[in-house]
Amino acid sequence: MSESTLQHDSEHTQDRLLALTDALEDGALENSAALVQVRRMLNHLPAPTIAHLLESSPRNTREVLWALVDKDNVGDVLNYLNIDIQTDILNKLSPAEVVSLTEGLDTDDIADILQNLPEQVIQQVLGAMRAQDRKRLEAVLSYPEDSAGGLLNTDTITVRRNHSLDVVLRYLRRHEELPEMTDSIWVVDRNDVLVGILPLRKLLVSDPDQTVQDIMDTEFEAIPVTMNQQQVAQKFARMDWVSAPVVDEHGKLLGRITIDDIVDVIREESEHSIKSMAGLGSEEDTFAPVLRTARGRAVWLIINLLTCFLASSVISKFSATINHVVALASLMTIVASMGGVAGNQTQTLVIRSIALGQIGASNTMWLMSRELAVAALNGLLLAVIAGGTAVWWFTDWTLGLVFASAIIINLLVAALAGAFLPLLLKAMRIDPALAGGVVLTTITDVIGFFSFLGLATLFY
């Protein structure tokens, strides 16, 4: 398909979406006659676009729109919805309805959907499935959701190494269509152990009288079924894979992972990191009910309140000094704020590097040394600016010296904490993106206030 054709299709889809949005804003859902037109426009949109529209709609509108989605489309649309909305919809369905809704989806997509349901409901859904489909799905569900096994799709095409290419081509033509994202065929032995990869780009241009063994790639890299999904994503990014085979500890082929699933992993990790820093769930529904949203956010707000009390308790220890030198009250928040910003810069870099697998035992100390050196240079620069400003503002050289010294101390501590905290939390199996921000802010606040007020007490 040419670039101009793709652009035309994209513009056509966008025009439909705009027309549908205009219809909704004009109150079409309140007019039964207009619902027919809305249904027609809605179901002519691609499944990802319908899902986006549902996620962008308030709950009442969403429920009406979901009821208008054709039965042939509901499974595909559901697959593109975020977890919160998926769960809301699935909880209202019977096991038989869930089976009907997911019919035709890839095994890994069905597994992703079911993993958001209670175990009892999952077993009911499995019990309502055909034996072959149930066996495939149980194999995927037996692996952790965040592992290669949780991503694998069992819909694969395999051949033997002694087959001629002509036989392979005739075998492929017997299929109505190849599985999506098929760029290679897996070569296995009698025990289904993966022995080679046959790329379609070679198969289609090679002499049909050759055998699979003549042109297959034997220098391949398979993905262990237990590999973490972040590591799988890193492999795909480095190797530019479209699909990759997944094997067990004995090298037996279990299925494959495709690039569309990896894109989902990368997107989810990005959203998780961004939202976790604000104490939000990565799959939080923008239009969730008030009570659910408030409950989800209250936990981290309470934790943050407790850490603020800790920082305030440090300030209260130096109330006599603050009363003696009132200027301290207007400057001490600057020290804490500068430490928080510097620490967040370092912590963000380290969390990203952890996610990309770039940090290990061999380079951790080098990274910490580099961050301390950067903090020292920036600390000296800011100390000169801040200290000089304080002297000019309050005509007090002692205050300027205390202010400058506290900034240097807090920036050094912030750099050390920003580099060390994510590694420590990761080792403790705590998400650095979720907990790191709160802990780092507490450290920089406490150290900032303590160093500034402590030095002021000492000098004054």
Token couple for 208: 């049909």
Q: Does residue 325 lie within any of the structural domains?
A: yes
3-state SS assignment for residue 255: strand
Q: Are residues 99 and 191 in the same domain?
A: no
Q: Does residue 152 lie within any of the structural domains?
A: no
pLDDT band at 328 (very low <50, low <70, confident <90, very high): confident
Task: Provide DSSP, 53-104.
Answer: HHHTS-HHHHHHHHHHS-HHHHHHHHHHS-HHHHHHHHTTS-HHHHHHHHTT
Render the burial of 385-406: b for 16+ CB within 10 Å, e for the rest. ebbeebbeebeeeebbbbbbbb
Please name the residue that has the structure tokens 């050390």.
Answer: 416
Residue 431: which CATH number?
1.10.357.20
Domain end call among 258, 274, 308 = 258
pLDDT tops 70 at residue 258? yes
Residue 300 makes CB contacts below 8 A (sequence gap 6+) with 279, 438
pLDDT in tens, 235-251: 998 899 999 999 999 99
Residue 43: which CATH number?
1.25.60.10
Q: What is the DSSP letter of 30?
A: G
Q: Are residues 135 and 173 in the same domain?
A: no
Q: Does residue 126 lie within any of the structural domains?
A: yes
pLDDT in tens, 81-137: 887 888 888 888 888 888 888 877 877 788 878 877 778 778 888 888 888 778 888
Q: What kind and span of H or E run contains 309? A: helix 290-316
Q: How far apart are CA 38 and CA 23, in angstroms?
A: 7
Q: Are residues 213 and 327 in the same domain?
A: no
Mean local confidence (pLDDT), 336-349: 89
Q: Does residue 285 lie within any of the structural domains?
A: no
Domain end call among 121, 147, 173 = 147
Q: Are residues 162 and 125 in the same domain?
A: no
pLDDT tops 80 at residue 271? no
3-state secondary structure 187-252: EECCCCEEEEEEEHHHHCCCCCCCEHHHHCECCCCCEECCCEHHHHHHHHHHHCCCEEEEECCCCE
Q: Are residues 440 and 311 in the same domain?
A: yes
Please name the residue that has the structure tokens 């069905």.
Answer: 110
List the domain range (segments joined by +) for residue 82.
Answer: 3-147
Q: Does residue 264 lie within any of the structural domains?
A: no
**How many domains are there within the chain?**
3
Q: How many Cβ atoms sit within 10 Å of the Cβ of residue 109?
A: 21
pLDDT in tens, 18-40: 666 666 655 555 555 666 777 88
Mean local confidence (pLDDT), 60-75: 84
CA atoms within a 13 Å half-sphere pointing along the CA-CB vector of 271: 13
pLDDT tops 50 at residue 391? yes
Bridging pattern class, strands 194-199 and 243-247: unpaired
Q: Does residue 219 lie within any of the structural domains?
A: yes
CA atoms within a 13 Å half-sphere pointing along the CA-CB vector of 84: 16
Mean local confidence (pLDDT), 408-430: 89
Q: Are residues 165 and 239 in the same domain?
A: yes
pLDDT in tens, 181-237: 999 999 999 999 999 999 999 999 999 999 999 999 999 999 999 999 988 998 998
- The angle at the Cα of 379, spanning 378 to 385, to the nearest 5 degrees, equals 90
Which has the higher per-residue pLDDT, 26 or 139?
Answer: 139
Helix residue ranges per DSSP H, 253-289 = 259-276
pLDDT tops 80 at residue 412? yes
Q: How far apart are CA 149 and CA 228, in angstroms?
A: 9
Residues constituting the chain = 460
Q: In this structure, are residues 62 and 287 in contact, taking their beta carbons and an 8 Å threshold? A: yes
3-state SS assignment for residue 356: coil
Tell me the whole-structure pTM to 2 decimals: 0.67
State which amino acid sits at residue 331.
L
Q: Are residues 434 and 304 in the same domain?
A: yes
**What confidence score (pLDDT) does residue 283 get?**
53
Domain end call among 147, 171, 189 = 147
Mean pLDDT of the chain: 83
